[in-house]
Amino acid sequence: MGIRRSFWYFVSNGILWFLVGRVLPKKWFSPSAAPFRPFAFEKDGAFYDRFGIRFWHKKLPDMSRYLPRLMPKKALEKGFSSGLLRMLQETCVAEFTHLALMITSLKILEWTSLPLGIALLLIYNLLFNLPFVMIQRYNRPRLSHLSERIDERRSPVVEGTLAKHA
């Protein structure tokens, strides 16, 4: 009974948190605010290179491919700056959703024996949540730096800098 109940809990919990992530206002998710801003040890995503993230992160499923009407496109189009901000916010939403799934998955410990429950939690979180949190934390600094460079190019020329070279 415990495994079957746990399976259906994981499925329904995943659907619930996905929907929550879609309806929450995106303005609540700032890439420069805690807990989404980079930690010092992440070194702008370089920390995740130790796990070979460059080789596997694009091979994992992406909800925007399966539910294009519910998820914004990953490609940036002509509204580049606003699209970039939206992508940054979406990385925060995805991270929030997977962290919420990790926390709420602890509920299955009530239905299964302790060793089996711990094994299910580890498998579920290490395969279905942690990699997606890592991907968001890996991509966000790169997108943030791109956004900063765009903002720098759009800002007025500071007196005495580029004006001399023009």
- pLDDT tens readout for residues 102-149: 999 988 888 777 788 788 889 988 999 999 999 999 999 998 888 888
Q: Give domain limits for the chain.
A: 2-24+41-155
Residue 88 CB contacts under 8 Å (≥ 6 apart), including other chains:
31, 140, 143, 144, 147
| Residue 115 confidence (pLDDT) | 84
Burial class (CB within 10 angstroms; exposed 0-12, middle 13-18, buried 19+) of 110: exposed
Are the C-beta atoms of 34 and 92 separated by less than 8 Å?
no
Distances (CA, A) of 60 to 53, 122, 127, 131, 149: 11, 18, 10, 9, 29
**In angstroms, rounded to a whole number, what is the distance separating the alpha carbons of residues 157 and 59?**
42
Whether the Cβ atoms of residue 106 and residue 125 lie closer than 8 Å to each other: no
In this prediction, residue 119 carries a pLDDT of 86
96 falls in which pLDDT band (50, 70, 90)? very high
Instruction: Quickly tell me which residue has 């259906």 as its tokens.
Output: 8
pLDDT class for 2, splitting at 50, 70, 90?
A: low
| SS3 state at 118 | helix
Calculate what percentage of the chain has a pLDDT beyond 90. Answer: 47
